[in-house]
Structure 1
Amino acid sequence: MSFDSKALDAHIALFNKAVTSGDFSAFTASFAPDAVMKFAGVPAGPYLGRDAIASAYAENPPDDTMTVLSHDWDGDRLIARFKWDSGGMGQLSLRWRENLVTQLFIAFDPHPLPQEKEPTGE
């Protein structure tokens, strides 16, 4: 997918709406069936597959919305710097395939993002 900031905007809007409504179904539906979600700086995951990601959000839903501060395209992934609206900062790394998120890596300051490749589906 070529970079279009609208994809990032849509991802963040879905996340923030899920946090405020408590309904993560539309947000998790935006992930590919084989998506991967990993964190740095918190004891969570990795979550492999849309169902595991949906279960993670159902079991431990976040309670804070986020605002993107900056973003840049790095090869085949988008790197975005964000702030939690109640305090704290971090980075997201996102990849898409056919308008679905295939990878979401989240790092909370001061931890760096994981440096991993796109899954091959093998």
Structure 2
Amino acid sequence: MSPEEAEDEDAAWADSADRKIAIRALAEHRAEEHLSSAEHDRRRELAQNARTVGELRALFTDLPAPHPLLGEAIMGGPAWVAQAARAGGGAGLLLITGGIIVVAAILAGWWIPAVIFACLLAVAAIFASATR
């Protein structure tokens, strides 16, 4: 990523999903005692009021990795897809993709295949999250 692309990404507006991801990551750093309670509360308030992705990223510059995935440039798509794939160890991405297929099958009138696929999808997601 070039410096110009990084600046453009940091200048992008932060949406509520980005703020929630950052707040969850701050809670993890607090649980691992990288932040005091007072510092966690201060950064959480800054995250809730952040307007850009750059403001959210700035909250993690002095903290050890991993840092949260923020913005739409991650993996060439929306941040929620990348975050689901990362957080669920693949189970989240499996559920998103499978859910889209199930909805498409229902809309096409293929009820029986949709129900069968939904059951298989649920079993696969449970297995994927259990083996994590």
Fold-level similarity (TM above 0.5): no
Interval of TM-score (by shorter of Structure 1 and Structure 2): under 0.3
Q: Give the TM-score normalised by structure 2.
A: 0.24
Looking at secondary structure, tell me which structure has more helix per residue: 2
Higher strand share: 1
TM-score by length of 1: 0.25
Q: Which one has the largest radius of gyration?
A: 2
